[in-house]
Structure 1
Amino acid sequence: MTAARPLPDWAREASLGFFVHWGAYSVPAWAEPSGALGTVPDDEWFAHNAYAEWYANTIRIEGSPAAEHHAREFGGAPYDALLDAWRAESYDPADWARLFRSVGADYVVPTTKHHDGIALWDAPGSGDLTTVARGPRRDLIGPLAEAVRAEGIRFGVYYSGGLDWAFTGGPPHRSSADIELQRPKDADYNDYAFAHVVDLIERYAPDLIWNDIDWPDAGKRPGPRSIEALLARYREAVPHGVVDDRWGAPVGDYATSEYAHDTDHETGTGWEHCRGLGFSFGYNRVEDESLTLSPRELARLYADVVSRGGRLMLNVGPTAAGEIPAVQRRTLEGVAPWMTAIKPHTLGRRMLRADEVEVTDAAWWRAWATPDGIVVVVDAPAASVRSVDGRPIIRIVLPD
């Protein structure tokens, strides 16, 4: 099995990535805001799933709030009818890219195929379950790749190798145990997913492949369509490329956590913490400002992750039309000046020992070391900071 490698310079220096969860689920744009993943009991989570991108699963759980919403608003229409209703008429990838750059994005990773099985490009073998064949009737991935790279940002792809409800059918997942029991493991799905990812590599040469959930077990055995063969092709095509750790096999270049889930992965350096601005990744029209991170909360989260050796992967969930929702844009534009000031002070960073700095008159603070000194982020302008060994202090106050 392909072994993980040391992170390339770009990934080691990166501190902020952006997910983009966009799909047919952006048409209803609805989920019950039940709480963050990892804080809601497993036996409650699936029927009350806060992830709008899981809409295709949640509406099939009888009695769930999402099922009731779907019956009321869409008459219980088949899920893929939402693909036909999706137009992406206001999609402006250059505008998205400019926004990401203004916040200091190092890389951007859109969903190319989520668990619903709908591909956002002309994926081989997907028939009419693509945005080229139906709905928007165009490739949504290529223009974004061009736009973010034009802004000097790395481009990656998300792919759900572990679940594809359109391919497998079957009952909805009602628990985490159901996912393991019902996820596709056979050679047919492995061949299908393998062809998809090869096509993504050949078309877009992504700097990062973010696989989700798992990979079919048939691909974990040696062979021409194995994970090992797939990643060998990827690393030959993109030598500086990296992959995450969600393959169900020890091939990842870095570990990931998600909201309050898998936080035990947040050790050492190079790990990545992902979450949305609210409880959902896909756009959820229920999430207003009270359920969305403020600029100050986002800055605090970023400083915390960076100080502990990680990278923050923050999600944006566009509307079905292709607009960044105003509630999300306000936070990003609000934090942008602060991010512009702090980002240069994350390069060459290393974690700091508790005895290397003294901070007083601050209820909260985080710190890390750089070649230029010690960076200390504090929550109060009156905070006093001193390095024990006399190194220069770069003091940064959280935004209001």
Structure 2
Amino acid sequence: MTGTHRESLPGWVKEASLGIFIHWGPYAVPAWAEPEHVAGEPEPEGGWFKHCSYAEWYANTIRIEGSPAAAHHAEVHGSAPYEDFLDQWKAEAYDPAAWARLFRALGADYVVPVTKHHDGVTLWDAPGSDGFNTVDRGPKRDLLGPLAEAVRAEGMRFGVYYSGGLDWSITDYPPIVEGEDIWRFRPNDAAYAAYATAHVRDLIDRYAPSVLWNDIEWPEAGKEDGSLVDLIAHYRDAVPDGIVNDRWGADVWDYRTSEYSMGADHETGSGWEHNRGLGSSFGYNRVEDESFTLSPRELAKHYADVVSRGGRLLLNVGPDAAGRIPDVQVRTLEGAAAWMTGVKPYTTDRRFPGDAEVTVSAEADNWYRTWASGDKLVVIADRPEAVRVTAPGYETVAIALPEQER
């Protein structure tokens, strides 16, 4: 396959440091997963998938014999078909303009909603998705168009996530129980490749997304027949300054991604993107309280770490079935907003100083990160007044992390 990736990222991407991911689907109705197990960290007994902390994987987890999710599903929902949640999902409180204002207040540069996750439900009337989308059922409307308009009205870029690699609505494979199952139990035939290609082409033509974010590879038939290369070329023509992530299983990407503790080897150089939820799930998990959710201080620290190493943070929110962003998530976003917007002006043109005379040091208990921005040397620390800086030619900007919540 011929490579189609960019030699260099567009200017807006180089200046961006914060994106908002949105996982919203029928899984917001049951809204349940075990929150204790962070992806990429040591697996619990029985394996990650049996104890999956991703609520958006509910349709898979409830099919694993002996999983706590299956027991929960039987007790609370009577083992009803997952598809029933699509009809129960009403999105009656959905206010995309309010979402966009919240994200902009945090200093977000771009917003990437899920348009189809692994359950196969599309959040718009995608070609060939009759009877399994949010226009025909559940919310009974296109959920993407109003969000794209609201996001752009607030001066942010709009992107799209699409699960090209998995679609449980059109396959009858066993549940994914171990990592290798992802690659064994994914549709790779020409019919599915054409179906997914039509979806993504429609997303491009309708919404002109600045970010094209695929997940779990792309069907092999679409790689082999050249349709993936044609699709990416179509995207390049339609959105000349758009960018493509690295999860296609083909050389079409512009930047690398990492997720929670996974893919850390991708966090090198500049222009990479780290994505994670405010808790241990992407989709809304009603079990996640403040103890499982990043505090404003923890969010600030995580953001500073990613920025200092040349990356962007794609931070996820998971709305509930009504369309409300849960209070526990809003608390963190609003609590960090003033700090984040105060730091944002110093994240443009970020780099490590090249001058050998620049040194920054602090005691072990004084966490800090630093980067250069123009003629400024930015120091983020627990106690910036106790950080020792030698930086000829730079003006030092010292910013303290938000205070620890009591």
Q: Same fold (TM over 0.5)?
A: yes
Aligned 8 A contact 2:21 2:316 in 1: yes
Output the amino acid matched with 1:327. V
Question: Which residue is equivalent to 1:148?
Answer: 151
Aligned 8 A contact 1:374 1:387 in 2: no
1:222 to partner: Cα distance: 4.0
Aligned 8 A contact 2:4 2:233 in 1: no
Question: Which residue is equivalent to 1:327?
Answer: 328
- Partner of 2:166: helix, strand, or coil? coil
Q: 1:194-251: CA deviations, max 9, x gaps?
A: 000000001100001100011000111243xx21000000010000000100001111
Distance 2:88 2:290 in 1: 27
Match of 1:357 among 346, 356, 359: 359
Match of 2:95 among 85, 92, 95: 92
Q: 1:310-330: CA deviations, max 9, x gaps?
A: 000000000000001000000
- Partner of 1:91: helix, strand, or coil? coil
Distance 1:382 1:210 in 2: 41
Q: Which runs of 5+ in 2 are unaligned?
A: none
Match of 2:31 among 26, 29, 32: 29
Aligned 8 A contact 1:385 1:393 in 2: no
Taking a change above 3 Å as real, the CA distance of residues 165 and 388 of structure 1, as seen in their structure-2 partners, is: same
Distance 2:332 2:379 in 1: 22
Using the TM superposition, name which of 297-306 and 344-353 deviates more: 344-353
Distance 1:213 1:399 in 2: 36
The alignment's TM-score, normalised by the length of structure 1, stands at 0.97
1:13 to partner: Cα distance: 1.0
Output the amino acid matched with 2:279. G
Match of 1:138 among 138, 141, 147: 141
Question: Which residue is equivalent to 1:235?
Answer: 236
- Partner of 1:156: helix, strand, or coil? strand
- Partner of 2:170: helix, strand, or coil? helix
Match of 1:13 among 6, 12, 15: 15
1:171 to partner: Cα distance: 0.9
Question: Which residue is equivalent to 1:63?
Answer: 66
Residue 216 of structure 2 corresponds to residue 213 of structure 1: yes
Question: Which residue is equivalent to 2:163?
Answer: 160
Question: Which residue is equivalent to 1:247?
Answer: 248
Residue 369 of structure 2 corresponds to residue 366 of structure 1: yes
Distance 2:178 2:152 in 1: 39
Distance 2:160 2:205 in 1: 12
Output the amino acid matched with 1:227. L
Output the amino acid matched with 2:392. D
Distance 1:238 1:2 in 2: 18
Distance 2:248 2:280 in 1: 24
1:385 to partner: Cα distance: 3.7
Taking a change above 3 Å as real, the CA distance of residues 352 and 37 of structure 1, as seen in their structure-2 partners, is: farther
Q: How many residues align?
A: 398
Question: Which residue is equivalent to 1:181?
Answer: 184
1:390 to partner: Cα distance: 4.2
- Partner of 1:167: helix, strand, or coil? coil
Q: 1:36-71: CA deviations, max 9, x gaps?
A: 110142861000000000000000001101111111
1:170 to partner: Cα distance: 1.6
1:381 to partner: Cα distance: 4.9
Distance 1:255 1:69 in 2: 36
Distance 1:136 1:112 in 2: 14
Question: Which residue is equivalent to 1:111?
Answer: 114
Output the amino acid matched with 1:36. V
Distance 1:164 1:56 in 2: 11
Identical amino acids, percent of aligned pairs: 64
- Partner of 1:44: helix, strand, or coil? coil
- Partner of 1:198: helix, strand, or coil? helix
- Partner of 1:264: helix, strand, or coil? helix
Output the amino acid matched with 2:272. W
Aligned 8 A contact 2:4 2:232 in 1: no
The alignment's TM-score, normalised by the length of structure 2, stands at 0.96
- Partner of 1:368: helix, strand, or coil? strand
Using the TM superposition, name which of 353-362 and 256-265 deviates more: 353-362
Match of 1:171 among 164, 169, 174: 174
Residues 207-356 of structure 1 aligned to structure 2 (within 5 Å): 207-223=210-226, 226-352=227-353, 356=358
Distance 2:262 2:362 in 1: 32
Q: Which runs of 5+ in 1 are unaligned?
A: none
Distance 1:287 1:387 in 2: 43
Aligned 8 A contact 1:378 1:398 in 2: yes
Distance 1:217 1:377 in 2: 45
Name the Cα RMSD after superposition: 1.3
Distance 2:333 2:53 in 1: 22
Using the TM superposition, name which of 168-177 and 306-315 deviates more: 168-177
Question: Which residue is equivalent to 2:198?
Answer: 195
Output the amino acid matched with 1:270. G
- Partner of 2:115: helix, strand, or coil? strand
